[in-house]
Amino acid sequence: MVSPVTHAVDADFLALPRAALADAALDAARRGGAQHADLRVHRLRSQHLELRDGRVVVAADQETVGLAVRVLRDGVWGFAAHVDLTPETAAATARRALEVSGTLAALVTERVTLADEPVHAGVTWVSPYDVDPWAVDVADKIGLLTERSTGLLAAPGVDHVAASCVQVKEQTFYADSAGTTTTQQRVRVDPDVTITTVDRAGGGFETLRTLAPPAGRGWEYLTGTGWDWDAELAELPDLLAEKVAAPSVVAGPTDLVIDPTNLWLVIHESIGHATEYDRAIGYEAAYAGTSFATPDQLGTLRYGSDVLTVTGDRTVPHGLASVGWDDDGVAAQDFDLVRDGVLVGYQVDRSFAPRLGLARSNGCAYADSAEHVPLQRMANVSLRADPDTDRSTAALIDGVEDGIYIVGDRSWSIDMQRYNFQFTGQRFHRIRGGKLVGQVRDVAYQATTTDFWGSLEAVGGRSTWRLGGAFNCGKAQPGQVAPVSHGCPSALLRRVNVLNTGSGS
Amino acid sequence: MSAPGSALVERTLAIAARRAPDAGVVALVREVSEAVVRWANSTLTTNGQTVERRLSVIMLVPLEGGTGAGVATVPAPTALAAGPEGDAVIGEAVDGAVEAARRAGPARDAAPLPAATDGAPGDWDDPAGATSMAVFGRLAEELGASFRADETSFGFADHRVTTTWLGTSAGVRRRWVEPGGAVELNLKDPATGTSVWGGEGATDVADIDVTALVGRLRDRLPWGRRRLELPAGRYETILPPSAVSDLMIYLAWSMGGRPAQEGRSAFSRAGGTRVGERLGALPLTLAGDPAAPGFPDLAYTPVLATTYSGDEVSVFDNGATTGRVEWVRDGEIATLAYPRAAAAEYDVPFAAPTDNLVLTGGEEATLEEMVASTERGLLLTCLWYIREVDPTTLLLTGLTRDGVYLVERGEIVGEVNNFRFNESPLDLLRRATEAGTTERTLPREWKDWFTRAAMPPLRVPDYHMTSVSPGR
């Protein structure tokens, strides 16, 4: 693999009056009595391309930028943001944040303290990617998506093709009253192709989507680096034809081999969100929800079998949550969440670390835009592959007499304590006597988090480990979205409840 | 403090006309002023007051074989509306959109921009509307007074004023201001573990009576003192208006005409669409209407403004006047959403997605009266984490949240465990046996995207609870 080019932060972002904005905002905050203040200049560039049946439906560029000031005065947060990037507005926004802090201070009964963090002054980080999507002519991008669409439309049984790619470049400048100043640039892409076959006579239809996950990569991801598009697109029509002809699943407890392209989402919902400390102590109770994994069970909760070891990180190359420093100015780290099946940690930011008794934040603060306040958001939360044996997915399948191999994510839903979940997938391959013998359809699997992970018998080795992920993890009010990746190997789980979602379910 | 968006729209149209004289142009400026406050465990957690402004330029460029569309959205600081630097940024956005339109090729949704029906409105040059933390004066007082030691309070209040200026090369000039806010409240009783939720939306958040909301939720807390465990299964279930709204919103979002015509939606049937199909015995009508008869708080400006094309809307329709759409009429599927070009292609009326949804056609019964007339059944509070399982039938899954109650002989007899359900809103309309009186409600699941809803409670004789959810 070619090692990624190290890019510089774009000159037009560096040309923004970062130091002047920081000086103006932090000075005004200090004068107003803030014990801590930070300024963030946050710019998001995105390009959305979407084709239907080979014709462009959306070709849209979007840029947003603004400055955000957060102050902590007498243990009470205040936040304000504005679109104007002038020192005068920065100072006025800091004063507004102080006002906001004071407005409802009477309702505050718990004062915030921040965990200490070393000062990181004048530092810069750029995510690893080869080709800046904004350096590629839009004609070439549309050309590639058109070529793939028309190729698939020509295949037997394919009636419709939807092809899209969202590309994002996120740039932040962060400066706080302790002296940390960070400048960062991240690039990510989310390509997607879905084919549909329609039964005009019978009135039904079926779809199949590519498995390529969104990734912290550049345009090279569309042309072969990190994903073999040609191979995947070539097999898509036949797989769809097989899916349409497949028999409906027989419901009941079923042994499952789950591919990383499906399992990442289960990890996201049932472990990633459940080990967010703010959720676990009720900060999301009225909206995103709480967690069954409460802090009183830290070190004792049996989350799953001994095979289950899960880490959080903001460092994995191409991870969607990977950064140099978080939006609290904390350096990116790796940490344990579940070790040998037992809950051992939480994701925190600087305000929650002291409440958990930690001396330092593990770096999980993120705000999705200038208009939104940073909060604890998800790190890349990943399941460890078998460290001793590089077991293949085929070897896991070989251990199943009668079961299903599930590939690709589709529908997902989990309750507000992250306990009862139900997932579907793109493809369900029937396993008989350790071999794949064709697809079945109408499959959903439903379980309780600890039962599910308790039934984890084995995981694949390092060679099966893949990063999955999403651009649109939602949390908080007002709503924020965050990009996040989850690495995992293939996995074998015994006797998971499978539902038949077909007609008459 | 902000330059009126009208100047920015005119400037953008002028620059675009110089750079691409043959192109259709849409200039859209949106300013959002927002104040928010959030609390948990009976203490304030986060807050904020923000101002955001964007300019979107949509270029509709004549090409060989049709017209291409390109969109560019840029931040719109005050400086953008004045000076050569602003001209350069706008010019770059216009050029980017023209280039995207050329490369995109002829669009299937191409149509001439809607013509202006009148001149610029009298408030065209007025500044944007604004809000501030001051709107929460009443909330702070009432919420602070409501905090007490034997229960914990969680919630969120927001107030947002969105000002939109829309100008097109076809002469359309429209400006409108949409204020809106909501209070959501979740009370928990640590002694019983019970959790209750309620929410209210309003044009002015200061109109919301938090004390009354707290009172209504406190009436429910005692229901949690008796806990009952019920297994998964089919139950007679009363869905309150909030739960109905989340299901009807998803239904309306799925009513794209083209997917139905192409055979790839739950609204397709062999050889056509399901328009005209009778769903159930109840004469229910699901409609969206800018005038919102009966619910003046749900009214919205009847002008289409969008920066994206899709199966239901088109950038070519910017400036079109929108009207009442009856998606379901007297129990029959009546209308699917079509942009103007698709409407012409399929020879059906133009119907844009509506910004409110009102379900009517039920009886006069209130939720309480429907409970009183129930021999044995479940009463829900709201639904959560609703996701599509099977698009061919619109089968959705999701969970009950913040209170499922068992009704016996017309009385609430205790609180039941939560459930996961698997149900299609189409099937629910087919099977519902009673609808009550329609009232304004706040969707729990989709509130971030859709707030203007009025729904009746619905009785479903056999709601499908597919598993028990141990979370509370």
Whether the CB-CB separation of B62 and B70 falls below 8 Å is answered with: no
Task: Name the domain boundary from B155, B182, B214.
Answer: B214
Strand extents, DSSP E, A147-243: 160-176, 181-199, 204-209
Is residue B356 a part of any domain in this protein? yes
- B233 to chain A: closest CA residue: A505
At A24, the amino acid letter reads A
Q: Given this model, what pLDDT does residue A505 score?
A: 43
Q: Beta strands B24-40 and B325-329: pairing type?
A: unpaired
- A49 to chain B: closest CA residue: B104
Q: Which H or E element spans position B68? A: strand B66-75
Task: Name the domain boundary from B191, B214, B237.
Answer: B214
Is the pLDDT at A3 greater than 70? The verdict is: no
Is residue B220 a part of any domain in this protein? no
DSSP SS3 for A137: coil
Whether the CB-CB separation of B55 and B8 falls below 8 Å is answered with: yes
Q: Given this model, what pLDDT does residue B472 score?
A: 80
Q: Could you tell me which of B412, B471, B460, B206 has the C-alpha nearest to residue A449?
A: B471
Interchain proximity B263–A55, CB inside 8 Å:
no
Write out the two tokens for A428: 């369900």
Total H helices, total E strands in chain B: 9, 24
Q: Given this model, what pLDDT does residue A235 score?
A: 98
Give the domains, in start order, of chain A with CATH numbers.
11-245 (3.30.2290.10), 252-500 (no CATH)
Are B250 and B182 within one domain?
A: no
What's the farthest any 2 CA atoms get from each other in chain B? 75
DSSP A269: I
Interchain proximity A205–B104, CB inside 8 Å:
no
Q: Given this model, what pLDDT does residue A5 score?
A: 58
What's the farthest any 2 CA atoms get from each other in chain A? 74
**How far is B79 from A86, CA to CA, in rounded Å?**
10
The total of structural domains in chain B comes to 2
Nearest to B263 among A65, A205, A415 (CB): A205
Are B22 and B69 within one domain?
A: yes
Are B140 and B268 within one domain?
A: no
Beta-bridge partner residues of A459: A491
Nearest CA distance, B75 vs chain A (angstrom): 5
B231 touches chain A (CB under 8 A): no
Question: Average pLDDT for residues B184-209, to the nearest whole number?
Answer: 96
- Tell me how long chain B is: 472
Is residue B357 a part of any domain in this protein? yes
Is the pLDDT at A1 greater than 80? The verdict is: no
Interchain proximity B47–A104, CB inside 8 Å:
yes
Task: Name the domain boundary from B172, B187, B214.
Answer: B214
Write out the two tokens for B385: 């984490």
Q: Could you tell me which of B464, B186, B243 has the C-alpha nearest to residue A422?
A: B464
Please report which confidence band the pLDDT of residue B83 belongs to, taking 50, 70 and 90 as the band edges: confident
Are B63 and B87 within one domain?
A: yes
Q: Per residue in A285-343, pLDDT tens?
A: 999 999 999 999 999 999 999 999 999 999 999 999 999 999 999 999 999 999 999 99
Q: Per residue in B123-142, pLDDT tens?
A: 999 999 999 999 999 999 99
Are B31 and B145 within one domain?
A: yes
Is residue B186 a part of any domain in this protein? yes
- A371 to chain B: closest CA residue: B50
A 50-79 residues with CB < 8 A to B: 52, 55-66, 76-79
Q: Per residue in B198-231, pLDDT tens?
A: 999 999 999 999 999 999 999 999 999 999 999 9
Is residue B221 a part of any domain in this protein? no
Q: Beta strands B357-360 and B453-455: pairing type?
A: parallel
Nearest to B105 among A56, A424, A502 (CB): A56
At A129, the amino acid letter reads Y
Which whole-number Å values give the CA distances from A405 to A228, A350, A389, A441, A492, in the listed order? 21, 41, 21, 12, 9
Is the pLDDT at A152 greater than 60? The verdict is: yes
Sign of CA dihedral A78, A82, A85, A89: negative
What domain range is B130 assigned to? Answer: 5-214
Are B236 and B381 within one domain?
A: yes
Are B258 and B139 within one domain?
A: no
Are B103 and B208 within one domain?
A: yes
Question: Average pLDDT for residues B381-401, to the nearest whole number?
Answer: 97
Is the pLDDT at B82 greater than 90? The verdict is: no
Q: Given this model, what pLDDT does residue B79 score?
A: 85
Q: Cβ contacts (< 8 Å) between A205 and chain B: which residues?
A: 263-264, 268, 391-392
Nearest CA distance, B364 vs chain A (angstrom): 31
Report how many Cβ contacts below 8 Å link chain A to chain B. Answer: 277
DSSP SS3 for A374: coil
Question: Average pLDDT for residues B129-157, to the nearest whole number?
Answer: 95
Which whole-number Å values give the CA distances from B409 to A99, B371, B373, B415, in the listed order? 54, 9, 8, 15
Please calculate the CA angle A436-A440-A445 and round it to the nearest 5 degrees. 100
Q: Given this model, what pLDDT does residue B3 score?
A: 65
Whether the CB-CB separation of B298 and B288 falls below 8 Å is answered with: no
Burial class (CB in 10 A: 0-12, 13-18, 19+), B118: exposed
Are B49 and B174 within one domain?
A: yes
Is residue B367 a part of any domain in this protein? yes
Looking up residue B59, the CATH number of its domain turns out to be: 3.30.2290.10
Cβ-proximal residues to B387 (8 Å cutoff; 6+ apart), any chain: A411, A412, A413, B396, B397, B398
DSSP A12: H
Interchain proximity A200–B53, CB inside 8 Å:
no
A 204-223 residues with CB < 8 A to B: 204-207
Are B134 and B247 within one domain?
A: no
Are B210 and B284 within one domain?
A: no
A 383-422 residues with CB < 8 A to B: 411-420, 422
DSSP string, A348-375: --TTTHHHHT-SS--S-EE-SSTTS--E
A424 touches chain B (CB under 8 A): yes
**How far is A23 from B77, CA to CA, in rounded Å?**
20
Q: Could you tell me which of B40, B77, B305 has the C-alpha nearest to residue A370?
A: B77
Is residue B435 a part of any domain in this protein? yes
Are B278 and B129 within one domain?
A: no
For chain B, the first-to-last Cα distance in angstroms comes to 47
Is residue B219 a part of any domain in this protein? no
A111 touches chain B (CB under 8 A): no
Q: Per residue in A214-272, pLDDT tens?
A: 999 999 999 999 999 999 999 999 999 999 999 999 999 999 999 999 999 999 999 99
